[in-house]
Structure 1
Amino acid sequence: MATFEQQLSRSTPKSETGASHWIRKNLFYSLSSSVFTLIALYFIYLVVPPLANWMFFDATFAQVTNEQCGREGACWSYIIEKSDLFIYGFYPPEEIWRPQLVLALTLSFVFVSKSLKHYAHRVKIIIGLIVIYPIITFFLLYGGFGLKIVETHQWGGLMLTIVVATVGIVASFPIGILLALGRQSKMRVIRLLSVVYIEFIRGVPLITILFMASVVLPLFFKEGMDMDKLLRALIGITLFQSVYIAEVIRGGLQAIPKGQYEAADAMGLSFIQKTGLIILPQALKISIPNIVGSFIALFKDTTLVLIIGLFDILSMVHLTTSDELWLGRSTEGYVFVMIVLWIILYSMSRYSRQLELKYNTEHKK
C-alpha cells in the first residue's frame, strides 16, 4: 500500500494539465461555450489582422511629410512631429526640462517609498510628499524664484490632463471623507448640510459644474480680480468628485459590522480615535475598488475641460490635425490618445488590485 508521501509525489495526469486541458475547460466545456468561442475567434480574425497591418506592417514610422506617408497604413510621423504638443501643450520648448524634472522627481519619490521597508520612514516620506511635493511641482511648472513664469493657458496635452486629474483626486479625497462622515453624523445640522450638498452636486452634470466654475465663480470675487482659468476648473472638478467619493466611502462605512463600533466604545476610545483608528481604515479597505473606479472616471472626465478653453491631450488631436501639413490624420491621433490613456488607467486598475490583495485580512480556509 502506497504511503501518504508517495501519493503526494504522484504526478497529475497529463489529461488534467497543459494547454489542451485549459482550452477544453475554459473555451469548449459545453456546446454554447464552443459556439461563442468560435464566434469570438471569427471576430478576432476579421479585426486583428487588418488592424495589425494598419498599425504596424503598413505603417510609416520614419519622419516624413504627410504626402510621403502611405494611405494604406498609419502615419506615425504625424505623432512624432507633434509629440511635444501632445505631451506638453504650448509649454515653451526651452522650458520643457521643468515638467521633465517633475516627472523624474515623482518617479524617484515613488521608488524610494517603495524601497523603504520600515513603516515609520515610509509614512514620513508620504507625508512629506503630500505637504512639500505639490509646492515644488507648482513652482517648477508655473515658475518663480528665478524661473520664467509660464502661464497656465500655455499648459496642455498629457501634462495638463495629469495635473487636473491628480489635483482633483488628491483634493477631493479628504473632502469626500468629511462629507461621508458628515452624512453619518448624529448632529442634524451637519448631516443636513452634507446631504443637501451631496444631492445637489450629484444631480448636476460635470459639464454644468465646469461652466459654473468658469462663469459664476468669478462673480463672488471683487471687481477686477481675475481668477486663473485652470484654478476655476480644478475647484469645479474637486467639488464634483468629492460627492462621489463621499458616497463610495459611506457605502464602506455601512458595511462595517455594528460590533466594531461597540468594541471601540467599550475600549473607551473617543470619537476621533474610534473613527481614525478603527472605523475609517476598514471602510477605506472595503471601498478600494469603488474609489479607484471613481478616480478612473474622473481621469476620463478631464477631457471636458476643453469647453472652458483648456487643451488636454484629447483636444490636441483636433488642434494638430487643423495644421494644413497634417490634414486627414485624426485617426492616428485618436488611436495614440486611446493607447496612452489606456496604459495610465490600466496601471491604476492594477495598482488598486495590488492594494486589495495587500490589505485583504480575510482568513480563508
Structure 2
Amino acid sequence: MSQSAATAGILPTGSRTKPPVAMAGPWAWIRTNLLGSWWSTALTLVLGYIIVRVVFGFVEWAVINAIWSVPYSNKGIPDTTICQNAKGIGACWAIIPDKYRLILFGRYPYDEQWRPAIVVLLFIGLYVVSGMRRFWRKELLLVWVATLALVGVLMWGGIFGLTPVPEDAWGGLPITLILATFGAAFSFPLAILVALGRRSTKLPAVKLLCVLYVELIRGVPLISVLFMASVMFPLFMPAGVNVDKLLRAQIAFILFAGAYLAEVIRGGLQALPKGQAEAADALGLSYWKKTSLIILPQALRLVIPPLVNTFIGFFKDTSLVLIIGIFDLLTMGKIALSDPPWQSFATEIYFALAVVYIAFCFAMSTYSRSLERDLNRSRQR
C-alpha cells in the first residue's frame, strides 16, 4: 500500500485488517484509567491494598467490635468497665446516647429541650426552602423574618406560656446555626455594599472607608475580632446599655465575614466584561438598576464556588466563640468529656461531631455545584 493511500485511509482490496474494537463499560474504564501501564497497575494495587486495610480496620473498630450500651447504677452513673477493657479495639458508642442531649442543646433545661430541637428543624427547613429556585421571590424575605422571629421566641421564651430561658443556658447546635445563619444573612448584603464602595470612582471617601474596613478586618485573626467585640464594644455603648455576649459575637462574625465576602464579590465584579456596564448605560439605566439587574447577577454567578467556600469556613469558625464564653456544638462535646466515666472516649465524641459538621458542609458544597451547573447551563455551547 502506497503512502498516499495510507494517508487517505484507503485500504487495498482484500485487506483483512479489522477495525478497532469499541471498549465500553466499567471494565474498559478500569483498564484505561487504572491498569493502563505497569506503573499505573502497581500504583493501583498498592493504593487499593491500603484503602482496603483502612476501611476494614475502621469497620472492625466502629461496627464489629463496637460497644453500643453499658449498664447504669441505681444513681444513673454509667459503668464503663466494659469499654475500658476493650482498650481501643472497638469504639464505645454508648457515650453518644448518654451525652447527645448535652452536646446538641447544651445546658438548656431538660424538660424544655423540645424548643431548641424545633429551632434546629426550622433552620434546616429554611435552608431547604431558600435553596429552591421556585421560591426566589420577594415573599422569601418574609419567610426569613418570620422564621428568625419564631427562633427567637422559642429560644428566649417568656411569651405564649413558654418558660423564659436566659442566653447563658443556650448551647450546642442551635448556637452554631444561629451564629452561622444570622452571620450569612447580614454579612452578605454588607459585603455587596463594601465591594461596590471599594470600586467606586465618584465617591473617594466611601472608597477609602471600604478599603480601610476590609484591610483592617483581614489583617487580624477572628479571635482578635471576637475579643474586641466582647471587650471594646460595650465601651462605646451609652451608660446603662448592656449588650449580651451572643449579640457581640454575632456582630463580630458579621463584620469578619463581610470583609472576606466583599473581596470575593469584588473579584466577580472585576471579572465581568466592561461591555455589560456600557450596554446598560446605553439603555439609560440608573446606577442601582444597572447594578442590581445587570452587573450583580452575572458577577455573583462567576464567584459561586469561592462564596460557598467562604460560608463553609465561617460555619466551622463558629467554634471559636468558646473564648468569650459561648458554648457551641464543638465546645459542648468537650464539656461532655469532662464527665469522669467518659474521659477516655474522646475519639467517639469527635467522630460524631465531625459527622454533623460534614453533613452541613457537604450539603452546602453539593448545592453549590448544582446551582453553578444550572446557572451556567445557558452559557454552554
Which residue number corresponds to residue 8 of structure 1?
A: none
User: Please, which runs of 5 or more residues in structure 2 have no aligned partner?
Assistant: 1-19, 72-78
Q: 2-side partners of 1:209 and 1:111: how far apart? A: 31
Which residue number corresponds to residue 101 of structure 2?
A: 84
Cα offset, 1:221, TM superposition: 1.6
Q: 1-side partners of 2:24 and 2:242: how far apart? A: 68
The 10-residue stretch of structure 1 (284-293 or 324-333) with the greater mean CA deviation from structure 2? 324-333
Note closer, same or farther for the CA distance 1:223–1:67 as it changes in structure 2 (3 Å cut).
farther
Q: Is the 8 A contact 1:305 1:311 kept in 2?
A: yes
Q: Which amino acid aligns with 2:288?
A: I
Counterparts of residues 144-293 of structure 1 (less than 5 Å):
144-146=158-160, 147-186=162-201, 187-293=203-309
Q: 1-side partners of 2:37 and 2:264: how far apart? A: 39
Q: 1-side partners of 2:318 and 2:125: how far apart? A: 26
Question: Partner of 2:329: helix, strand, or coil?
Answer: coil
Does residue 75 in structure 1 map to residue 110 in structure 2? no
Q: 1-side partners of 2:44 and 2:252: how far apart? A: 46
Match of 2:354 among 316, 338, 342: 338
Q: Which amino acid aligns with 1:52?
A: V
Match of 1:309 among 300, 325, 329: 325
Which residue number corresponds to residue 12 of structure 2?
A: none
Q: 1-side partners of 2:365 and 2:96: how far apart? A: 27
Q: How many pairs are equivalent?
A: 350
Which residue number corresponds to residue 16 of structure 2?
A: none
Which residue number corresponds to residue 94 of structure 1?
A: 111
Percent identical: 45
Match of 2:65 among 58, 76, 82: 58
Which residue number corresponds to residue 74 of structure 2?
A: none
Which residue number corresponds to residue 145 of structure 2?
A: 131
Higher Cα Rg, which structure:
2
The 10-residue stretch of structure 1 (217-226 or 282-291) with the greater mean CA deviation from structure 2? 217-226
Q: 2-side partners of 1:122 and 1:197: how far apart? A: 31
TM-score under structure 1 normalisation? 0.90
Question: Partner of 1:74: helix, strand, or coil?
Answer: coil
Q: 1-side partners of 2:126 and 2:322: how far apart? A: 31
TM-score under structure 2 normalisation? 0.86
Cα offset, 1:168, TM superposition: 1.2
Note closer, same or farther for the CA distance 1:208–1:341 as it changes in structure 2 (3 Å cut).
same
Which residue number corresponds to residue 360 of structure 1?
A: 376
Q: Is the 8 A contact 1:113 1:125 kept in 2?
A: no
Which residue number corresponds to residue 5 of structure 1?
A: none
Q: Is the 8 A contact 1:63 1:81 kept in 2?
A: no
Q: 1-side partners of 2:99 and 2:334: how far apart? A: 12
Cα offset, 1:85, TM superposition: 1.1
Q: Is the 8 A contact 1:253 1:283 kept in 2?
A: yes
Note closer, same or farther for the CA distance 1:280–1:332 as it changes in structure 2 (3 Å cut).
same
Note closer, same or farther for the CA distance 1:361–1:171 as it changes in structure 2 (3 Å cut).
same
Q: Which amino acid aligns with 1:179?
A: V
Question: Partner of 1:318: helix, strand, or coil?
Answer: helix
Q: Which amino acid aligns with 1:58?
A: N
Which residue number corresponds to residue 17 of structure 2?
A: none
Cα offset, 1:224, TM superposition: 4.5
Q: Which amino acid aligns with 2:283?
A: M
Q: Is the 8 A contact 2:120 2:173 kept in 1?
A: no
Cα offset, 1:68, TM superposition: 2.7
Note closer, same or farther for the CA distance 1:110–1:196 as it changes in structure 2 (3 Å cut).
closer
Which residue number corresponds to residue 7 of structure 1?
A: none
